[in-house]
Every structure is written in structure tokens, then in C-alpha cells.
Amino acid sequence: MIETLLHFAVQGQRVTGTLCLPQGAPAPVVLMVHGFTGSRDEMAVTGTGEGVFSRSARRLAQLGLASLRIDCRGSGTSEGDFADTTYEGQIADALAALQVLSDEPRVQGKRAALLGWSQGGLVCACVAARSQLPLATALWAAVADPVESIGGILGADVIAAGLKTGDQALNIVVHDKTIALKQGYFDGMKTLKPADEIRRYAGPLFVAHGLADTAVLPHAADTFLAAHKGKQQAWITDMDHSFNATQGPEMLDRLLDATAGFFKLNGLA
């Protein structure tokens, strides 16, 4: 396995990603998109020294698949201010990443899949539908209704205030840290309909969700599965929003293996 940084520009700002390559010839590739307030390695998996996405990238490489995990603008080490984060901005980042992969000689960029976690799943649903490029798409604990899921994290009072901030940043405490967001993010919560988007995606869809997920409630999976009309697979089990990663890697590894198997059955073998 070889990992290297990959940079590209979106609307004049640099996006940073980690390209993970398996041994051997250029391989099919998986684009991974992080969640709300997350970054490209994602949260720590207890007992491993790895993050959810960095571990997933390594295991994908062991299974013969390349991957690119990106920091959306304003997150991680990509350029931009997190306060300017919007759903449409993150969708633009992921669409640009797919285009970069299509021209990247170290991977088989025309044989690409999407994998999004939580808000990243919302982004991937939209990217899949708008581009029709992924041979397969995986949504892990994906947000189907931003008002319900993100609104449940932030609270109704914060949402109401956010819809009135204009170009001023609103400071919010999330997961014991303070972040700032502008009105564009809150407007997107009202207008973006991920399930309506996935209805237009013709490719195979893998939907994973935990019955113990309290951040994005399990019926979000039902919403995506009901909307999507093509080939699909549901992977529903007793796990939380982070795939029980605070208890160790076992559930995450099972999920990743199932996801990779789905990808390989649908054009990435």
C-alpha cells in the first residue's frame, strides 16, 4: 500500500486528499466523503491508532481497491473557512474529486465508487445523482433529512438563529467544540432533498445503518431505499452512528468488507 497527498482546486481554493494505492497495476477507486465537522481520516477507532476512513482506505487497498479520501473545503487541511461550509460547496468538492480521479493515471478513474458517512452520505447521494458517474454508491448512516438529523444535533433555536445570520457567522458548540456557520448552511438544510436526488441515480446503491444510531435515525435508511429504484443492498445491524468504533474495529471491518464486496460485484472487481 502506498499513500500520497493529492491536491486540486475548487472555486479557487485548494482541496487536499489522501490517495491510497494498492500493490500492483492501477486499480478501481473509491471516493470517500467525511461527515459534519469531520475530516478525511475521520474519528479514531479504539485500539487501532487509525481513523474510520484511514482504516477503511488501508483495508480497501488490501482488497485491491484504491481510494481517495478528501477534506472538503474549510475542513481538515483544505483551504477555506469552515463557516462558509454549505452542502452545495461540499457537493462541488466531491464532483471535482471524481473528475480528478478520471484523469489520474495511478488509478482506474473511470471505474469509481462513492462512499459517504453521515453528512458525507448526503453529499454522495447528490453527487451520484448529478453525475451518474459512480459504478456503485455506498451510504453509511447517511443523512436523508438534514432538518431532522443535523437539526437534532444543533437544536431548533440554533437553526432559527442560523436562518437569520446573513453573512455573519453564528458560533455553535457541537461535540464539545465551537464551530461557526453562516446562513448558507442553514438555507441548505431547508432546500436540499437527498432522497429526491438519489431517486435519479441509476446505479447500484448500498445502504448501511445502525439500529442504535441516535444521530441519524434508522428510518433514514428506509427513506433512501424507498426512493432509489435501481439495484440495491441494505446492511442494517445493531451498531451506533460510528459503527461501534469506540469499542474497537470489529463492526467497522465487517461493514467495510460488505461494502467492498458490493463494489466488486458492481464493476470494481
At residue 73 the predicted structure's pLDDT band, cuts being 50, 70 and 90, is very high
Angle at the Cα of 94 from the Cα atoms of 126 and 28, rounded to 5 degrees = 100
- Do residues 73 and 79 make contact, with C-beta atoms less than 8 angstroms apart? yes
3-state secondary structure 97-164: HHHHHHCCCCEEEEEEEEEEECHHHHHHHHHHHHHCCCCEEEEECCCCCHHHHHHHHHCHHHHHHHCC
Band (pLDDT 50/70/90 cuts) for residue 63 is very high
Q: Can you give the length of the chain in residues?
A: 269
Residue 13's pLDDT band (boundaries 50, 70, 90)?
very high
Q: Please state, for a pLDDT cut of 70, what percent of the chain lies above it.
A: 100
Q: What is the pLDDT of residue 82?
A: 97
Strand partners, 108: 28
Gap between the Cα atoms of 101 and 94, Å rounded: 11
| Residue partners of 51: CB distance under 8 A and separation at least 6 | 41, 42, 43, 44, 45
pLDDT at 186: 97
Query: At a CB cut-off of 8 Å and minimum separation 6, what does 216 contact?
Result: 118, 141, 142, 143, 144, 149, 209, 241
| pLDDT reported for residue 241 | 98
pLDDT reading at 175 higher than 90: no
Q: Is the pLDDT of residue 174 over 90?
A: no
The whole-angstrom separation of Cα 35 and Cα 66 is 20
pLDDT, tens digit, 9 for 90 and up, residues 117-172: 999 999 999 999 999 999 999 999 999 999 999 999 999 999 999 999 988 999 99
* pLDDT at 176 (0 to 100): 83
Cell numbers representing residue 20 in the block? 491510497
CB 208 within 8 A of CB 142: no
Report residue 264's pLDDT band, with 50, 70 and 90 as the boundaries: very high
H and E: helices and strands count for the chain: 9, 12
Contact between 126 and 197 (Cβ < 8 Å)? yes
Q: What are phi and psi of 48, to 5 degrees?
A: -120, -25
**pLDDT at residue 113, as a whole number:** 98
Distance CA 34, CA 46 (A): 18
Helices (H), the chain: 52-62, 87-102, 119-131, 146-154, 156-162, 183-191, 194-198, 219-227, 250-263
Q: Could you tell me the domains of the chain? A: 2-145+193-268 (3.40.50.1820)
CA distance 43 to 185: 23
For 200-240, how does the pLDDT look when each residue is reduced to its tens digit (9 = 90+)?
Answer: 999 999 999 999 999 999 999 999 999 999 999 999 999 99
Which amino acid, one-letter code, is at 121? G
Q: How far apart are CA 107 and CA 111, in angstroms?
A: 9
Sign of torsion over alpha carbons 12, 125, 197, 170: negative
**Percentage of the chain modeled with pLDDT above 90:** 97
* pLDDT given for residue 129 in this prediction: 98
d(CA 13, CA 182): 18
pLDDT of residue 208: 98
Output the pLDDT for position 155. 93
pLDDT at 101 (0 to 100): 98
